Amino acid sequence: MTGFTGSIQLVYVVAAACFVMGLHLMNSPATARRGNQVSIAGMVIAGVATLILMIHDGTVTTTGWIVLIAGVAVGSAIGLYTARGVQMTAMPQLVSAFNSVGGGAAALVAIFGYIDAESKAGGVLGTTTVFTVLDVLIGSVTFSGSIIAAGKLQGFISGSPIIFKGGRLLNVALGVVAIGTAAFLFSTASLPALLILVLAALAFGVMMVLPIGGADMPVVISLLNAFTGTAVAMAGFVIQNWALIVAGALVGASGGILTKLMADAMNRSLANIILGGFGTGDSAVALDAAVDAQVRSIAADDAAIQLAYAAKVIIVPGYGLAAAQAQHGVAELAKILEERGIEVSYAIHPVAGRMPGHMNVLLAEANVPYPQLREMEEINPEFGRADVALVIGANDVTNPAARRPGNDISGMPILDVDQAKSIIVIKRSMGTGYAGMENELYFDPKTSMYFADAKKAMSELASAVKTLVG
């Protein structure tokens, strides 16, 4: 390492430090915006260092500059346009799309590095091959897998698990091809073999995500996020760039942690989710304890009376709320209740939404102040003091059956909604949730069911409360 490239590496370390500090500032909503700015500063520093390196090197051709400038301009415009226009409900798709292009770019960096090294005397170095193979493999899987995930979330591809005959056999075949070509590459430098590896990995990415159900997307997105990070870190090894190594490792760690959190919150192992086929909804389980029990149905006025005369209300939002676009209606109702001096908070289950923390963003967009958004562990002890728990579009995460062994959701962390003094569940029908199980909460004598579309229910409740209290 010459003095010059050494100095540039140090500048990259400064950029990497900015990324770490930026992430550190995200430990509170109050400082998170500054965190994002620090992170941007790091990116600008890394960008400038790269430009200096390129100019100093002096081998970038005029065509090269034009191509790169055009590429950056086009990419920035696309990024800016989508980021500005995207709906908050569509965040998971966007994150998936960015995972895809990030993984794709990382794979391209390694592929070019390979082509370039092969054309020179001495061919490709031994240890570099390991990182090239890993980068190409992980980057390509992420690229195609994330496109499928985004397509599923956006509705271009069916959200239900897509399984076809021989799918698993094809996966095994692709795995054998990938491992075979990888092994071959360690002994022989061969560009065609590398391209076969790319194709096998791309196909594997598609095959990996297709059989996974829409409701498992929080796990899939987190996992693909971890993959992208790892691919970028591997690209860092290939081109010996510390900024890529550090940034990639940070993202890999983050994606890994979120993957584990999501899988735990769904009470499923990662292997179980990846092997797929779950969430088809046709595996209706016979209900055991409460088979003959009746549910109590109420109208908007009754629900409004309960809410208007409560002292403490906990709202439990689920994905059904976001699907019905009712988040603004909920915030409006909460505001009316608060004006009456009622304490309102929101109990957010980790998997309420289509990606980690998604529900918080949707409610923040509806102007719900963040101190009211409470995590599961934090709010669970408070249900006992709540006069009304208002469950909107959430199902399995409120089912007390999870506390008992011997059923599909046993051991799944749930919100202790049944501890509240009374419970109002807003739901369109008695249909089962994602786990295909009856929710025992609905048969609780304290529970009243208010059958309506979440958005309509919110405006009805709001006007009923207003009329009631003048």
Partner 1 sequence: MSTTLVTDLTIFILALLVGIEVIGKVPATLHTPLMSATNSIHGIVLAGALLIGVSAHNVVGYVLAFIAAVFAAANVVGGYVVTGRMLKMFRRKVPAQPAAAQATAPELNGKTRAGDAR
Strand 422-427 and strand 343-348: the pairing is unpaired
Q: Which of 112, 156, 164, 309 binds partner 1 (CB under 8 A)?
A: 112
Residue 264 annotated to the active site: no
Q: Does 65 bind partner 1 (CB under 8 A)?
A: yes
Q: Give the nearest distance from C-beta 232 to partner 1 in angstroms.
A: 5
Choose which of 67, 176, 179, 293 interacts with partner 1 (CB under 8 A): 67
Is residue 83 close enough to count as binding partner 1 by CB under 8 A? Answer: yes
DSSP for 70-94, written as a single string: HHHHHHHHHHHHHHHH--GGGHHHH
Q: Tell me how many helices (H) and strands (E) the chain has.
A: 16, 6
Which of 89, 111, 132, 397 forms a contact with partner 1 (CB under 8 A)? 111
Rounded-to-integer distance, Cα 410 and Cα 285, Å:
14
Pairing state of beta strands 312-317 and 373-375?
Answer: unpaired
Does residue 109 belong to the site contacting partner 1 (CB under 8 A)? yes
- Residue 72 CB, shortest distance to partner 1, in Å, is 4
CB-count exposure of residue 154 (10 Å: 0-12, 13-18, 19+): middle
> Hey, which residues between 196 and 225 contact partner 1 (CB under 8 A)?
221-222, 225
209, 233, 315, 425: residue in contact with partner 1 (rule CB under 8 A): 233
Choice from 74, 172, 289, 468 touching partner 1 (CB under 8 A): 74
Total residues at interface with partner 1 (CB under 8 A): 121
Q: Which is nearer to partner 1, 214 or 353 (CB)?
A: 353
- Map residues 365-404 to x or -, x wherever contact with partner 1 holds by CB under 8 A: x-xxxxx-x-xx----------------------------
Distance CA 120, CA 449 (A): 72
Determine which residue in the list 7, 14, 52, 53 makes contact with partner 1, applying CB under 8 A: 53
Contacts of 361 (CB under 8 A, 6+ apart): 88, 91
Does position 323 interact with partner 1 (CB under 8 A)? The reply is no
Residue of 325, 364, 453, 463 that binds partner 1 (CB under 8 A): 364
- Indicate which residue of 135, 216, 396, 418 is catalytic: 396
Cα angle: 241, vertex 243, 249; to 5 degrees? 105
DSSP strands (E only) in 224-328 = 312-317
Q: Which amino acid is at 113?
A: G
Q: Please tell me whether residue 47 binds partner 1 under the rule CB under 8 A.
A: yes
Q: How far is the CB of 280 from partner 1 (least distance, A)?
A: 27
Site for partner 1 in 427-446 (CB under 8 A): none
Pairing of strands 373-375, 388-392: unpaired
For partner 1, the binding residues in 235-294 under the rule CB under 8 A are: 235-237, 239-258, 261
Residues 19-38 that bind partner 1 (CB under 8 A): 19-20, 22-24, 26-33, 35-36
Tell the burial category of 290 from Cβ atoms under 10 Å away from its Cβ (0-12, 13-18, 19+): middle
Backbone angle region of 367, left / alpha / beta, with phi > 0 → left and psi within -120 to 50 → alpha: left
Site for partner 1 contains 451 (CB under 8 A): no
| Cβ contact 367:360 at 8 Å | no
Q: What is the smallest separation between the CB atom of 110 and partner 1, expressed in angstroms?
A: 9
Neighbouring-strand partners of residue 154 = none
Q: Does 11 bind partner 1 (CB under 8 A)?
A: no
Gap between the Cα atoms of 232 and 246, Å rounded: 9
Q: Which is nearer to partner 1, 151 or 353 (CB)?
A: 353
Distance from C-alpha of 353 to C-alpha of 380, rounded to nearest angstrom: 19
Q: Determine the interface stretch with partner 1 among 13-21, 173-181, 435-443, 453-461 (rule: CB under 8 A).
A: 13-21
> Bridge partners of 390?
315, 424
Q: What are the CA-CA distances from residue 115 to residues 112, 194, 234, 356 (Å)?
A: 5, 10, 17, 38
Beta bridge partners of 344: 313
DSSP structure class, residue 297: B
**Binding residue (CB under 8 A) for partner 1 from 132, 228, 395, 432:** 228
Residue 407 engages partner 1 in binding (rule: CB under 8 A): no
Verify binding: residue 358, partner 1, rule CB under 8 A. yes
In angstroms, give the least distance from the CB of 245 to partner 1.
Answer: 5
User: Does residue 14 belong to the site contacting partner 1 (CB under 8 A)?
Assistant: no
Nearer to partner 1, 106 or 162 (CB): 106
Give phi and psi for 350, each to the nearest 5. Answer: -55, -30
Active-site positions read 396
